[in-house]
């Protein structure tokens, strides 16, 4: 249930394996989703190789600004970010699932989920569907998971994006780099992406309740010197950055994508986790069905190894980055370029947050030694 990256990926893998699969999507595709449209390389690499991806442009340079004091710039030979319309990307992923043999029903909304022994019945606006396994991937708010019995929702954080159609000189100003500004909201960051014919400018608050996003975004736009705006299109939404206590599986029903809360808690990126969870859910069914307990064990173990361990490491980094500003500022002052390079390598898929966290722990130890040295020097005076 759900035609975003997780649902479409799961349906495609299942169909390619010869499984009879139906994909239900509540809205008529293509449909808008609040997203800066910057796809990190490790997510782009997981897209189908034969898919006609509607890229608007590729960006090999990123700038990270932390407050007004620290600025770091990274350039790589491969794209760090590739820009596209999320509506078009999701539509192409749905078409790839359709091309693999999945049956697509859209628009079709879920009304109820009924567990019936070795089957699951999904009651929808288009009738009743009976299935051996149900993968719920219907987004952050996930009404289908509520209907299926989930009560512990992921932790949501708010995001606001403006699509700004501006004169060419403003596009040229942001032409060669994706810009990120930590501290535009507290805690959180702002971004500016040049998407070719317009700018995507947005803010995301990395805590459940962060107020004043509209005011913060207006100030951010002004601070970037973006004053001549021909057209502004606003979009808002929530990003699930922590799963909480919600299980991934209940009987024959599985969660994937935003419904499973697998967005990156450091940067709010969700495409990589969505694609990974959709693929792993499908492979659990392919490799372990018809036994639901084996399917559950397979999905939970592979998700834990590949996705959840990565999100735990990212969460620890996020606690430093957003929850301990003094420590963060010292780290950025002392090792900012190295940290920026390491985080870029994560986005490129060359390393993991776990490795980056190990490096951060090393630098924190250096901080401890530095403070002890200063304390000892003060005592000898």
Q: Is residue 90 in a domain?
A: yes
pLDDT at 327 over 70: yes
Q: Is residue 297 in a domain?
A: yes
Question: Looking at 51-60, 214-223, 237-246, 294-303, which range is the least confident one?
Answer: 237-246
Residue 67's contacts (CB-CB under 8 Å, 6 or more residues apart) are: 182, 183, 329
* Total number of domains constituting the chain: 1
Q: Is residue 350 in a domain?
A: no
pLDDT at 221: 96
pLDDT at 334: 86
pLDDT at 251: 93
More confident position, 75 or 328: 75
- 7 pLDDT tier (thresholds 50, 70, 90): very high
Q: How far apart are CA 103 and CA 297, in angstroms?
A: 27
Tell me, what CATH number does 146's domain have?
3.50.50.60
Nearest to 39, CA basis, from 59, 17, 61: 59
Coarse DSSP helix, strand, coil percentages of the chain, rounded to the nearest 5 percent:
40, 25, 35
Q: What is the mean pLDDT of residues 41-51?
A: 92
pLDDT at 67 over 90: no
Residue 70 token pair: 């620290």
pLDDT at 155: 84
Q: Is residue 49 in a domain?
A: yes
Residue 19's contacts (CB-CB under 8 Å, 6 or more residues apart) are: 285, 286
Q: Is residue 177 in a domain?
A: no
More confident position, 182 or 378: 182
What is the tens place of the pLDDT at every residue in 166-198? 999 989 999 889 999 999 998 999 999 998 889
Residue 103's contacts (CB-CB under 8 Å, 6 or more residues apart) are: 20, 21, 22, 23
- 379 pLDDT tier (thresholds 50, 70, 90): low
pLDDT at 69: 82
Q: How would you class 331 by CB atoms within 10 Å of its CB: exposed for 0-12, middle for 13-18, buried for 19 or more?
A: buried
Q: Is residue 225 in a domain?
A: no
Nearest to 131, CA basis, from 293, 292, 259, 248: 292
pLDDT at 366 over 80: no
What is the tens place of the pLDDT at every residue in 234-264? 999 899 887 777 799 999 999 999 999 999 9
pLDDT at 335: 86
Beta partners for residue 65, in sequence order: 71, 181
Please give the span between the terminal C-alpha atoms of the chain, in angstroms, as a whole number: 69
Q: What is the mean pLDDT of residues 156-169?
A: 93
Question: Looking at 29-33, 116-120, 202-206, 259-263, which range is the least confident one?
Answer: 29-33
Q: Is residue 88 in a domain?
A: yes
Beta partners for residue 191, in sequence order: 180, 202
Q: What is the mean pLDDT of the chain?
A: 90
pLDDT at 125: 95
Nearest to 296, CA basis, from 286, 288, 304: 288
Q: Is residue 10 in a domain?
A: yes
pLDDT at 372: 62
Provide the residue range defining the domain that includes 142.
Answer: 5-58+81-152+244-310
pLDDT at 152: 76
């Amino acid at each position: 249930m759900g035609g975003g990256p997780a649902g479409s990926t799961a349906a495609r893998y299942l169909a390619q394996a010869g499984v009879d699969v139906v994909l239900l999507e509540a809205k008529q595709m293509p449909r808008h989703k609040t997203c800066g449209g910057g796809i990190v390389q490790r997510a782009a690499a997981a897209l189908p190789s034969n898919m006609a991806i509607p890229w608007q442009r590729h960006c090999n340079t990123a700038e990270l600004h932390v407050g007004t004091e620290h600025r770091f710039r990274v350039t790589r030979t491969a794209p760090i970010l590739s820009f596209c319309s999320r509506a078009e990307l999701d539509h192409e992923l749905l078409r790839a699932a359709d091309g693999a043999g999945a049956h697509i029903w859209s628009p079709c909304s879920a009304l109820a989920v009924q567990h019936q022994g070795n089957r699951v019945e999904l009651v929808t606006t288009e009738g009743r569907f009976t299935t051996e396994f149900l993968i719920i991937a219907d987004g952050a708010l996930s009404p289908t998971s509520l209907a299926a019995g989930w009560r512990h929702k992921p932790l949501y954080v708010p995001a606001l994006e403006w699509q700004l159609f501006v004169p060419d000189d403003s596009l040229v100003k942001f032409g060669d780099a994706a810009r990120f500004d930590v501290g535009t909201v507290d805690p959180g960051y702002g971004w500016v992406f040049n998407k070719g014919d317009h700018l995507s400018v947005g803010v995301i608050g990395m805590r459940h309740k962060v107020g004043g996003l509209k005011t913060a975004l207006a100030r951010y736009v002004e601070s970037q010197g973006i004053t001549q705006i021909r057209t502004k299109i606003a979009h808002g939404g929530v990003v699930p950055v922590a799963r909480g206590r919600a299980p991934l599986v209940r009987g024959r029903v599985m969660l994937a994508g935003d419904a499973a809360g697998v967005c990156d808690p450091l940067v709010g990126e969700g495409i990589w986790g969505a694609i990974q969870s959709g693929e792993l859910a499908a492979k659990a069914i392919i490799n372990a069905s018809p036994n639901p307990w084996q399917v559950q064990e397979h999905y939970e173990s592979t998700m834990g190894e590949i996705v959840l361990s990565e999100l735990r490491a990212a969460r620890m980094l996020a606690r430093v980055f957003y929850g301990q500003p003094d420590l963060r500022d010292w780290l950025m002052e002392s090792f900012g370029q190295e940290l920026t390079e390491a985080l870029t390598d994560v986005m490129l898929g060359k390393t993991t947050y776990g490795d980056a966290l190990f490096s951060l722990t090393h630098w924190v130890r250096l901080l401890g030694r530095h403070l002890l040295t200063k304390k000892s020097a003060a005592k000898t005076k």
